[in-house]
Amino acid sequence: MATTTAKSFQNYIGGEWVDAASGETFETKSPATGETLGVFPRSSADDVDKAVDAAKAAYEEWRLVPAPRRGEILFRFGRLLADQKDEVAQLMAREMGKVLPEAAGDVQEAIDMSFYMGGEGRRLFGQTTPSELKDKFNMSVRQPIGVVGVITPWNFPIAIPSWKIAPALVCGNTVVFKPATDTPLLGERFVELLAEAGVPPGVVNIVHGGGGAVGDRLVKHPDVPVITLTGSRETGVEVMRNAADNLKHIHLELGGKNAIIVLDDADLDLAVEGIIWSAFGTSGQRCTAASRVIAQDGIYEELQSRLVKAAEQLRLGPGWQDGVDVGPVINQKALEKIHSYTEIGKDEGAKLLTGGEVASGNGLSDGFFYRPTIFGDVDPGMRVAQEEIFGPTTALIRVRDVDEAVRVSNGIEFGLSSSIFTRDVNTAFRAMRDLEAGITYINAGTIGAEVHLPFGGTKGTGNGHREAGQAALDVFTEWKSIYVDYSGKLQKAQIDTAS
């Protein structure tokens, strides 16, 4: 499709589809073929301000809509998404590049989250507690906060918006959503379906454009008390700094450098399957991707040769084609970054076992394809073992025993996902306790979160919050404690201790 014939899309503000105030646009392209998929408004601070005004006005009514009714809208949204699951997955394979089964999984996660948070409309539990005084009633309740700024990356373009927008809405907040500029089409579809499900005008608004313009204004806007961002560590730090003057609630889900530990007693067939899936699924562009494999001496050589063989059998191609295991990476910049780490690894003395090059020919030359890459003999301190590459590259590290394995796994600045393959239940329980990460898998890869459990990381992966599960509600509500005195007299807490 030529650029000029690609469909144009707009922002959605206060229930109206509108162009950017500046009239400027940008294109979204398929990373597999370079085909232009759509033209989007390149918005600026003016557009953000309009969206925030709309969200602020809508908040006054939305916060008073009974939570079960808000939840029903999410149920309708979940059903619409389920009806269109195949079509949205196809779109994702084209715009973001994932292979179809993974794209369908991304959509399924959003369906699950919508139903889970829809049900929360009938819970949103607070607490009632006894009072220290007679004839007095105490309770705590969750209260919505206001306008939430939702800023998302491109790698889970339907799932991640749902992790943020579904809980924000059921709690009674309104939203201004800025999707990544690599996946605006999926962001747009997400909001279209929300509107179709019955979200009132102004309750959810979408403003397309870059982080430096749209994202930055959202972060600094005084009428946006909550920012929820998933992205890189660098962006997270900048956002936190920029929001400091307004003392905003900042929820950050950032990078990872996740490891799979394989001990001598592991089921190696299972471990190989888990590693290949975790390292090369979504072309390694998952925050929970296994970019390190920590292998015990006794199985190191065997594991290495099996991994290389399995990696070399993976088929690259456009995500929508049958039989493709690994799609493209997101863009030229990502391709260059991934390749630069191959050079860094070689310079550092790691052994390149397979991959390490851009894949071309056989219909791959128009896209951004990189061969699944494995480094062996990696020292835990090397940059390829410390820094997030966000591509199909993993580093094999040799250790003597489980204590060293856990030390190496923990020896990074991030703390998102972790995994251990062992048949020893005592070792597994020690690892569950000692691995410094928000998520630990036993005898599974580093991938596979379910929406009803908290999701997020320790250390440099975030700032202590979690999304998904009940924990997400803490991001989108404030606790209010309420004391009701029905004694008819002034009772003084901590003073009238004798009553």
User: Taking the complex as a whole, how short is the minimal distance between the CB of residue 102 and ligand NAD, in angstroms?
Assistant: 14
Give the integer Cα–Cα distance in Å for 104 and 323: 15
Footprint of ligand NAD on residues 89-108 (CB under 6 A)?
none
Cβ proximity to ligand NAD, 254 vs 271, nearer residue: 254
The string of DSSP letters for 306-340 reads HHHHHHHTPPBS-TTSTT--B---S-HHHHHHHHH
What Cα–Cα distance (Å) separates residue 167 from each residue in 115, 121, 205, 474?
Answer: 11, 9, 16, 10
User: Taking the complex as a whole, how short is the minimal distance between the CB of residue 21 and ligand NAD, in angstroms?
Assistant: 19
The count of chain residues that interact with ligand NAD, using the rule CB under 6 A, is 31
What Cα–Cα distance (Å) separates residue 190 from each residue in 11, 88, 329, 385, 412?
Answer: 13, 9, 22, 36, 35
Choose which of 175, 213, 254, 310 interacts with ligand NAD (CB under 6 A): 254
Cβ proximity to ligand NAD, 173 vs 235, nearer residue: 235
**Contact between 157 and 56 (Cβ < 8 Å):** no
Choose which of 114, 440, 461, 477 interacts with ligand NAD (CB under 6 A): 461
The answer to whether 256 contacts ligand NAD (rule: CB under 6 A) is yes
The answer to whether 148 contacts ligand NAD (rule: CB under 6 A) is no
CA angle 403, 416, 107 (to 5 degrees): 135
Choose which of 11, 228, 235, 427 interacts with ligand NAD (CB under 6 A): 235
The stretch near ligand NAD (CB under 6 A) out of 64-72, 82-90, 251-259, 421-429 is 251-259
Choose which of 11, 43, 152, 173 interacts with ligand NAD (CB under 6 A): 152
The answer to whether 239 contacts ligand NAD (rule: CB under 6 A) is yes
Give the integer Cα–Cα distance in Å for 235 and 88: 28
Choose which of 48, 151, 402, 439 interacts with ligand NAD (CB under 6 A): 151
Choose which of 102, 106, 238, 325 interacts with ligand NAD (CB under 6 A): 238
Choose which of 287, 378, 399, 431 interacts with ligand NAD (CB under 6 A): 287
* Known active-site residue 87: no
Cβ proximity to ligand NAD, 146 vs 456, nearer residue: 456
Footprint of ligand NAD on residues 166-195 (CB under 6 A)?
178, 180
Sign of CA dihedral 241, 243, 247, 250: negative
Task: Determine whether 195 is exposed, middle or buried from the number of CB atoms within 10 Å of its CB (0-12, 13-18, 19+).
Answer: middle
Of 400, 399, 346, nearest to 374 (Cα)?
346
Of 227, 164, 224, 248, nearest to 467 (Cα)?
164
* Known active-site residue 287: yes
The answer to whether 299 contacts ligand NAD (rule: CB under 6 A) is no
User: Taking the complex as a whole, how short is the minimal distance between the CB of residue 157 and ligand NAD, in angstroms?
Assistant: 10
First CA to last CA distance, the chain: 80
Give the integer Cα–Cα distance in Å for 124 and 473: 8
Choose which of 191, 272, 324, 416 interacts with ligand NAD (CB under 6 A): 416
Give the integer Cα–Cα distance in Å for 319 and 421: 30
Choose which of 202, 255, 281, 327 interacts with ligand NAD (CB under 6 A): 255
The answer to whether 392 contacts ligand NAD (rule: CB under 6 A) is no
The answer to whether 211 contacts ligand NAD (rule: CB under 6 A) is yes
Tell me the angle at which helices 67-83 and 100-120 cross, rounded to the nearest 10 degrees: 160
User: Taking the complex as a whole, how short is the minimal distance between the CB of residue 447 and ligand NAD, in angstroms?
Assistant: 11
Choose which of 216, 259, 260, 475 interacts with ligand NAD (CB under 6 A): 216
The answer to whether 155 contacts ligand NAD (rule: CB under 6 A) is yes
What Cα–Cα distance (Å) separates residue 149 from each residue in 168, 179, 194, 199, 218?
Answer: 10, 11, 17, 17, 6
Cβ proximity to ligand NAD, 121 vs 392, nearer residue: 392
What Cα–Cα distance (Å) separates residue 380 from each residue in 299, 393, 402, 409, 452?
Answer: 18, 15, 15, 9, 34
Choose which of 38, 78, 121, 231 interacts with ligand NAD (CB under 6 A): 231
The count of other CB atoms within 10 Å of the CB of residue 69 is 10
Cβ proximity to ligand NAD, 170 vs 254, nearer residue: 254
Amino acid at 410: N
Cβ proximity to ligand NAD, 142 vs 238, nearer residue: 238
Give the integer Cα–Cα distance in Å for 313 and 123: 48
The residues annotated with a catalytic role in the active site are 253, 287
Q: Which residues bind ligand NAD (CB under 6 A)?
A: 151-156, 178, 180, 210-212, 215-216, 219, 229-232, 235, 238-239, 253-256, 287, 388, 390, 416, 457, 461
